[in-house]
Structure 1
């Protein structure tokens, strides 16, 4: 079998470094644009600046970008910034991927940029046991809703 010289892709001398070859290889495998979205989520704060705190990325459905807000007032304000957010996001992706922004309340979900900004946890509250707790046990029917509630209230102090 004879080989033709000079045909086909040129070969490099030596091995390419993995850090150079891996991004090109992954780009060829990424036919749906998933890696571009990962870069978008990772660069969310730098891309939107101060607005990034108002609208966190949750994902997308087709051409709708889904963003989260922590409360309804912030969600309403962020809604008016939707066209500017779309412009920045599509500019980052270098093509018009999204044509609409939809806002939802965060409700404990974790945004795609991985930033969870919880408020400071509230310190556990130490309940003070009422002085005469248990004095109504004889007067309340133990099977009535009020009697069961009263005994549950007592149990809360007995367990602590």
Structure 2
């Protein structure tokens, strides 16, 4: 006795309609991107338009679970940006079309490259050429070399000796 096997699949029915690659590709990529990385890349690229003037204050550097990690180049700016966290979170989740992040965490940039790929270095400070005071060293006899003031004075002298 022969048994017939019925073939079943979980695939959706095929469309008989031909599509252009440009129309079919986004749907295919969305199906392959289960972690949502494609939407995050779009977020990083749209960061300046999404946040406007505030985008310069906080640059995206990543995410950890439901936490959006943003970085600032300055501790004071980072502290001020904390107050903008709820608004940034709302705009980001609206852009993504669902609540992906539930918290914004701020860190210092410290030379890291933000995920939007934009590095905004500040103008380099001109090198300071210190002028050696005329009477530098004249207090060596009067200051105790083991006192904090004496050690500081000698360190100040060495600054000019090394240059």
TM-score normalized with structure 1 length:
0.69
1:92 pairs with 2:95 = yes
1:36 pairs with 2:39 = yes
Q: Please name the residue that 2:17 is paired with.
A: 12
User: The residue matched to 1:104 in structure 2 has which SS?
Assistant: strand
Deviation at 1:125, TM superposition (A): 7.5
1:55 pairs with 2:52 = no
Deviation at 1:37, TM superposition (A): 0.4
Q: Identify which of 76, 79, 85 aligns with 2:79.
A: 76
User: The residue matched to 2:28 in structure 1 has which SS?
Assistant: helix
Q: Identify which of 95, 101, 106 aligns with 2:104.
A: 101
Deviation at 1:124, TM superposition (A): 6.6
Runs of 4+ in 1 over 3 A off after TM superposition: 121-128
1:120 pairs with 2:92 = no
Gaps of 5+ in 2: 1-12, 132-157
Point out the more displaced range, 46-55 or 16-25. 16-25
**Partner Cα distance (1:127, 1:72) in 2:** 28
Gaps of 5+ in 1: 1-7, 129-148
User: The residue matched to 2:90 in structure 1 has which SS?
Assistant: helix
**Partner Cα distance (2:98, 2:25) in 1:** 23
How many equivalent residue pairs?
Answer: 125
User: The residue matched to 1:20 in structure 2 has which SS?
Assistant: helix
Q: CA RMSD in A?
A: 2.5
User: The residue matched to 2:69 in structure 1 has which SS?
Assistant: strand
Deviations 1:30-71 (A, max 9, x none): 011111101100000011111101000010000000000111
